[in-house]
Amino acid sequence: MSKEQTLVVIGNGMVGQNFLASLVESPAKDDYKIVTFCEEPRAAYDRVHLSAFFTGKSAEDLSLVEPGFFEQHGITLHIGDKAAKIDRHSKTVTSQNGVTIRYDKLVLATGSYPFVPPVPGHDRMNCLVYRTIEDLEAMAAAAKTGKVGVVVGGGLLGLEAAKALKDLGLQTHVVEFAPRLMAVQLDEAGGSMLRRKIEDLGVTVHTGKNTSVITDGEHCVNKMCFVDGEELETDIVLFSAGIRPRDDIARDCGLDVGPRGGIVINNQCLTSDPDIYAIGECALWNGMIYGLVAPGYAMARTVVADLTGNEASFTGADMSTKLKLMGVDVASIGDAHAKTQGALVYTYQNGASEVYKRLVVSQDKKQLLGAVLVGDASGYGTLLQYCLNGIELPENPDALILPPRSDESVGLGPDALPMSAQICSCYDVTKGAVCQAIEAGCTTIGALKSETKASTGCGGCAALLKSVLNSELAKQGFEVNTDICEHFPFTRQDLFNLIRVEEIKTFDVLLERHGKGRGCEICKPAVGSILASYWNDYVLKTEHLGLQDTNDTFLANMQKDGTYSVVPRITGGEISPDMLIALGQVGKKYKLYTKITGGQRVDLFGARVDQLPHIWKELIDAGFESGHAYGKSLRTVKSCVGSTWCRYGVDDSVGLAIELENRYKGLRSPHKIKFAVSGCTRECAEAQGKDVGVIATETGWNLYVCGNGGMKPRHADLFATGLDKATLIKYIDRFLSFYVRTADRLQRTAVWMENMEGGLDYLKSVVIDDKLGLCEQLEQQMQHVIDTYHCEWLTTIEDESKLKRFRHFVNSDQPDDNVVFIEERGQIRPADEEERKHFKMVEVA
């Protein structure tokens, strides 16, 4: 179908973007030309984790838009341009900048704005709100000269904002009108437990306070005066007293809105105009505004389904939440306030460990209606499943909140969940969908995550997902076999530890002590790699030679016709004209096909095995060394030109790249490792697509880890910020050594981290906080590899006995007559099968 219709989306916030992302995955994308207006100067970002902006995440890190998303899907984005007017008669939207677009279907995702109480003085200097990145920048600017900050509002967002003020180094207060914190979600006892915990963290909490005026302070910029006569001096006042739907544009064009605001929608999320939908916080469904992101996403899915012609309806959303507020676990499920007729309440309070739990159950004690958890929210997953799926409670429901008395388990096993149970609420993944993916062959957490998207949002369901996986695998009679192959009943990590602890130095000894048979092409290279990673012996030593894949055996990359390619190291991609000429001369002399690689080096193709030592002799004489392109090892450290030449450069990226490449060159690892260093946040070296990426900032180096390109590109995660070089190198040493120790064979850093229980946070705790007490060992392990580096090609050409292998026939100097080259674009290429029959061999060298 041709794209004759136009769909306009007003608002590119979290819900607007989620809608676009779902739409382009649906068949409806083919029917519409999509146009979207985004009032803010940047496209959608993660408002839920806004406070991370103050702990090192940049605006880019918070972005929810995949790079190239709009271009790739042909979506026209009017950024920094607010949609100002809808004309329903002519079906047009006109923006502030004067752009007018005719629509066939219109989606309003205008979101909400922070409610600022009309207190006199609310618009004074440093009286701010907490909603956009610009708001955060204003907070940061105000915090530079201020010492005290007050958040008005003790709800979810208010406490999140208080954390931001705390992170900015301010004396922080929270002022709440209601008699307790998080009045919507928590009961009184839960609220006071939360208050104690938050006060322990150094935040002063004032409840039951009604502000009458904000005026000049004596020691601070502002002074808040309360109705009860008390006063509070503060430099910053941050309003976080709830949200209001942004419905002006709908109101102005005559759409139905609620008496207290909100664009009225039906179960299909349609407004009073059948061509206009509204989703997210601007929408009023059944008299409710949903101030959480998950219901907004559910509305977005409903509209996509409706546009696709599928039956779907939004019928309300569960408002249960679990979060960590300033390090305190808080959760609220369902009817937390026991408003249901006849509801019974169980409470458990432990003053010593500051834990509070409350269960609300039905009169017959069979159904869980709601719950409140403060200080320990570990039971959230189980309780939520009871509540949402109406699973019958155990005989004594209080067992669910009491500390286990013996080792009895009251957790809800994954088998008790119905197939319709929602495992991941961020992406609406049911147990049924997870089971289906498992049946289709996703037998690891990593595979499940990428197939179903479960646990890739907030990650709160990771443990539940894992238990479903394990239970399903066990049911399918799948013994979860993690043995590396039939010769060793161990994982790669086990083998690494055996080699390390027993100081095993050869495959034969390992096989004799811990394995059986003769080995195979799985375990041999894996063990060869471990031995090389840990002992850093020369891989072509007689006892190691038979373990190496063909590329390692000939220290070159085998191509389809059995010839090899040669890649000398060009550290950081920096090469002098003389070296480049020398490289060209070798290529020319041996008539090699020459190509620039993605890692800023030169690849020379078409070398016969007997030519390799001659080629390398000349390269080494010219000053080159092995590039290890043939090994599962450190490949390249790509760099941009950096501050040395670039007008925008912040630091010397080339210098650091060369230093890092020289440090880690020769390191054998479970899979190849790629690095990059960018000299500024323009990121020309694409460091965020590498296993290890480093970006220069004004405050030091930012370290990114676990990215990759290839078949499944993965954006790297920000690991640490503002590092000096010594700390940066220390972290990379530990990170790489830990990877080398614990990854599976042929597992890149991304999959390794994704399969790690605890993921990025766990990795940080190991590498930065030394949670396992391993860091010293990890650094030593790396130092050994660095100290014992040698160029494998230099070692090889100096050893006559090793050179013997570099010939096609052991008993003849003839070359392989099956290798035939054809000329194309002035260079050689392997002949295809047909051509081989017709052409005679082109003599080379």
Partner 1 sequence: MAQWIKACNIDDLQPDSGVCALVAGRQVAIFYMPKESTVYALSNYDPFGKANVLSRGLIGDIKGQPVVASPLYKQHFNLQTGVCLEDESVKIPAYAIRIENGSVQVSIPE
Interface residue list for partner 1 (CB under 8 A): 486-487, 508, 517-521, 523-525, 542, 545-547, 549-550, 553-554, 558, 560-562, 804-805, 808-812, 814, 816, 818, 833
Please report how close the Cβ of residue 562 comes to partner 1 at its closest, in angstroms: 4
Which CB sits closer to partner 1, 353 or 811? Answer: 811
Q: What is the rounded CA–CA span in Å between residue 642 and residue 650?
A: 7
Which CB sits closer to partner 1, 804 or 838? Answer: 804
Please report how close the Cβ of residue 486 comes to partner 1 at its closest, in angstroms: 7
Q: Are 650 and 687 in contact (CB under 8 A)?
A: no
Q: What is the rounded CA–CA span in Å between residue 593 and residue 602?
A: 10
Please report how close the Cβ of residue 477 comes to partner 1 at its closest, in angstroms: 21
Q: What is the rounded CA–CA span in Å between residue 179 and residue 606?
A: 79
Nearest CA among 532, 39, 18 for reference residue 292: 18
Which CB sits closer to partner 1, 518 or 647? Answer: 518
Which CB sits closer to partner 1, 448 or 526? Answer: 526
Nearest CA among 46, 77, 39 for reference residue 63: 46
Structure tokens at 842: 């082109």
Q: What is the rounded CA–CA span in Å between residue 194 and residue 182?
A: 9
Please report how close the Cβ of residue 545 comes to partner 1 at its closest, in angstroms: 6
Q: Are 185 and 334 in contact (CB under 8 A)?
A: no
Q: Are 536 and 544 in contact (CB under 8 A)?
A: no
Please report how close the Cβ of residue 835 comes to partner 1 at its closest, in angstroms: 12
Which CB sits closer to partner 1, 725 or 808? Answer: 808
Please report how close the Cβ of residue 803 comes to partner 1 at its closest, in angstroms: 13
Enumerate residues 6+ apart whose C-beta is below 8 A from 545: 539, 553
Which CB sits closer to partner 1, 12 or 548? Answer: 548
Is 481 strand, coil or helix?
Answer: coil
Q: Are 34 and 9 in contact (CB under 8 A)?
A: yes
Please report how close the Cβ of residue 818 comes to partner 1 at its closest, in angstroms: 5
Nearest CA among 490, 484, 475, 675 for reference residue 571: 675
Which CB sits closer to partner 1, 353 or 542? Answer: 542
Q: What is the rounded CA–CA span in Å between residue 602 and residue 510?
A: 38
Which CB sits closer to partner 1, 481 or 811? Answer: 811
Q: Are 733 and 746 in contact (CB under 8 A)?
A: no
Q: What is the rounded CA–CA span in Å between residue 224 and residue 237?
A: 9
Please report how close the Cβ of residue 511 comes to partner 1 at its closest, in angstroms: 10
Q: What is the rounded CA–CA span in Å between residue 451 and residue 466?
A: 14
Q: For residue 597, how many other CB atoms are within 10 A of its CB?
A: 17
Which CB sits closer to partner 1, 576 or 811? Answer: 811
Q: Are 633 and 791 in contact (CB under 8 A)?
A: no
Question: Hey, which residues does 603 pair with through a beta bridge?
Answer: 595
Q: For residue 358, how many other CB atoms are within 10 A of its CB?
A: 24
Please report how close the Cβ of residue 556 comes to partner 1 at its closest, in angstroms: 11
Which CB sits closer to partner 1, 239 or 554? Answer: 554
Where are any strands of DSSP class E within 11-71?
Answer: 32-38
Which CB sits closer to partner 1, 244 or 805? Answer: 805
Please report how close the Cβ of residue 804 comes to partner 1 at its closest, in angstroms: 8
Please report how close the Cβ of residue 837 comes to partner 1 at its closest, in angstroms: 12
Is 436 strand, coil or helix?
Answer: helix
Which CB sits closer to partner 1, 557 or 749? Answer: 557
Compute the CA torsion angle 426, 427, 428, 433 (nearest 10 deg). -140
Please report how close the Cβ of residue 567 comes to partner 1 at its closest, in angstroms: 18
Please report how close the Cβ of residue 830 comes to partner 1 at its closest, in angstroms: 9
Q: Are 336 and 371 in contact (CB under 8 A)?
A: yes
Residue tagged 């004799």 (tokens): 512
Structure tokens at 226: 């309360």
Q: What is the rounded CA–CA span in Å between residue 103 and residue 91?
A: 6
Which CB sits closer to partner 1, 611 or 702? Answer: 611
Q: What is the rounded CA–CA span in Å between residue 376 and residue 328?
A: 8
Which CB sits closer to partner 1, 114 or 515? Answer: 515
Question: Hey, which residues does 148 pair with through a beta bridge?
Answer: 171
Q: What is the rounded CA–CA span in Å between residue 361 and residue 369?
A: 5
Nearest CA among 542, 558, 541 for reference residue 550: 558
Enumerate residues 6+ apart whose C-beta is below 8 A from 816: 562, 608, 808
Please report how close the Cβ of residue 470 comes to partner 1 at its closest, in angstroms: 28
Residue tagged 């004032």 (tokens): 206
Structure tokens at 630: 């043939």
Which CB sits closer to partner 1, 409 or 542? Answer: 542
Please report how close the Cβ of residue 488 comes to partner 1 at its closest, in angstroms: 12
In the chain, what's the furthest Cα-to-Cα distance? 103
Please report how close the Cβ of residue 8 comes to partner 1 at its closest, in angstroms: 51
Sign of CA dihedral 670, 674, 675, 680: negative
Which CB sits closer to partner 1, 2 or 542? Answer: 542
Which CB sits closer to partner 1, 72 or 818? Answer: 818
Separation in Å, CA 371 to CA 294, 425, 782, 786, 811? 19, 18, 50, 55, 81
Please report how close the Cβ of residue 844 comes to partner 1 at its closest, in angstroms: 16
